[in-house]
Structure 1
Amino acid sequence: MGNKYIEYFIDTFGQAMSSITVTDETLKKWEKVLPTALIELWKKEGWGNYRDGLISFVNPDEYDDVLDFWLENTPLKEEDTYHVIAKTAFGSLYIFGESTGMRLIINSSYNQIIYFSATGKDELNDEFESFLGFEDPEDFDWEDDNGNYFFEKAIAKFGPLEQHEIFAFEPAYVLGGQLNFNDLNKVDCRIHLTLLRDFSSPAIVKFNIS
């Protein structure tokens, strides 16, 4: 019997438009580090790119440098060992802490690190399953002040996103730009996030989960 949360995610987001097979060696490397459900997803789907790139699961190793740079000189860096597990079409990175779970999101468009209160270590897999089971496509989209979503319009203009591509606002918000559809461009996620972090230190925004 399959994992119902993985099945729900695929029912909601559809089959991956593309994926990279995860080798047995890589699965073995991560199986005691990341949530069991994530490893199951990798086995079933690989590092999948869903909904034309609205959300993609990624190889954590390929984002280590970006993550280290964003956490540099912040109090978060020493609190846990973190790994990027997913990215969205608009450059948000979902991050898993080995001891604290999915407590960090890098919101690159706003130059923020979203910081949630820690989860108990025995709940880390449940937390990831909840992520799979309760997220909707709109949760990863952007909208303007009138409630109009950007993603489908961006796909029509630029085409689907590849594994490491995102839509980004140029000029960047941190440099005084606006979060307007007409300012969107398709860029390489890792290069763009490195440049954004080079411009300014991120704000840390904390939320407590009861």
Structure 2
Amino acid sequence: MDEIFSIFIKEVGVPVYRQEVPPSSLDYYRDKLPEQLLKYWVEHGWCGYGDGIFWTVNPREYEGVVEAWIEGSALEARDKYHLIARSAFGDLYLWGENSGFSVTIDSLVSRYSGEDVDFSLGGMDREVENFFLSVDKESNDFGDLFEPAKKKLGQLKFDEMYGFVPALALGGPVALANVEKVKAVEHLILLSQISPLEPYSFSDF
């Protein structure tokens, strides 16, 4: 394990629910995603970290999610995006084929932050390392509800997330009583249909 990933695991937590990455997926993404990310996939698979607060995922399983969120938004014409990771509460980390790790979507409130990445400090592989170094538990823990939700509902499986019912965009409160375990793909697509995706005020685009 390289130093970058060791730091990431120390910060976020040990892996759970590891899925091996098939050779067909490596072949499919070889010209779409950086080689360093594929190396991490081979070594570590797709899995959750920190009891499931953060997940690396199979992008193909989330193609419909990405399409549902960016269709009609300012992101649609900027790049070809792939979802490479998500949080327990539906923060979506998108990798642009030309722009690297440049977009994070907060699905609970239908907002995104976009960053113009400066590749003068290194190429796409370096950007992959920077991405994993940037991940921390606090920013993936919505309202400090992860531990209470895990205690109440149990640990998430690889295809699950914690969602609010009713959704926050429909006026639901940020309260543990309204948190439920839901299927990640289906719930994320549902959230995308409630309100249009808009940038945060601090977003670069």
- TM-score scaled to structure 2, two decimals? 0.91
User: Using the alignment, how far apart are the partners of 1:44 and 1:181 within structure 2?
Assistant: 36
- 1:27-106 equivalences under 5 Å are 27-106=26-105
1:156 maps to what in 2?
151
In structure 1, runs of 5+ residues without a counterpart are 144-148
- Measured against aligned partners, the alpha-carbon deviations of 1:131-166 in whole angstroms (never above 9, x if no partner) come to 2123221121122xxxxx211111111111111211
Kindly indicate whether residue 189 of structure 2 is the aligned counterpart of residue 194 of structure 1.
Answer: yes
- Measured against aligned partners, the alpha-carbon deviations of 1:5-57 in whole angstroms (never above 9, x if no partner) come to 11211233333111110012221222332123321211111101112210111
Percent sequence identity is 32
1:207 maps to what in 2?
203
Aligned counterpart for 1:182 among listed residues 177, 183, 188: 177
1:171 maps to what in 2?
166
Read off the aligned partner of 1:183 and give its amino acid letter: N
- Measured against aligned partners, the alpha-carbon deviations of 1:112-138 in whole angstroms (never above 9, x if no partner) come to 122222443853322221221232211
1:125 maps to what in 2?
125
Kindly indicate whether residue 136 of structure 2 is the aligned counterpart of residue 136 of structure 1.
Answer: yes
SS of aligned partner of 2:180: strand
User: Using the alignment, how far apart are the partners of 1:44 and 1:98 within structure 2?
Assistant: 22
Read off the aligned partner of 2:177 and give its amino acid letter: N
User: Using the alignment, how far apart are the partners of 2:119 and 2:11 within structure 1?
Assistant: 28
SS of aligned partner of 2:127: helix
How big is the shift at 1:203? 1.6
CA 102–134 in structure 1, closer or farther in 2 if over 3 Å, else same: closer
In structure 2, runs of 5+ residues without a counterpart are none
Farther-moved stretch of structure 1 (76-85 vs 19-28)? 19-28
User: Using the alignment, how far apart are the partners of 1:102 and 1:152 within structure 2?
Assistant: 28
SS of aligned partner of 2:181: strand
User: Using the alignment, how far apart are the partners of 1:165 and 1:118 within structure 2?
Assistant: 31
User: Using the alignment, how far apart are the partners of 2:28 and 2:13 within structure 1?
Assistant: 28
Count the aligned residue pairs: 203
Contact 2:58 2:84 in 1 (8 A): yes
Contact 1:101 1:119 in 2 (8 A): no
Contact 1:17 1:48 in 2 (8 A): yes
Read off the aligned partner of 2:52 and give its amino acid letter: G
Farther-moved stretch of structure 1 (22-31 vs 182-191)? 22-31
How big is the shift at 1:202? 1.6
User: Using the alignment, how far apart are the partners of 1:123 and 1:208 within structure 2?
Assistant: 20
Runs of 4+ residues deviating >4 angstroms: none
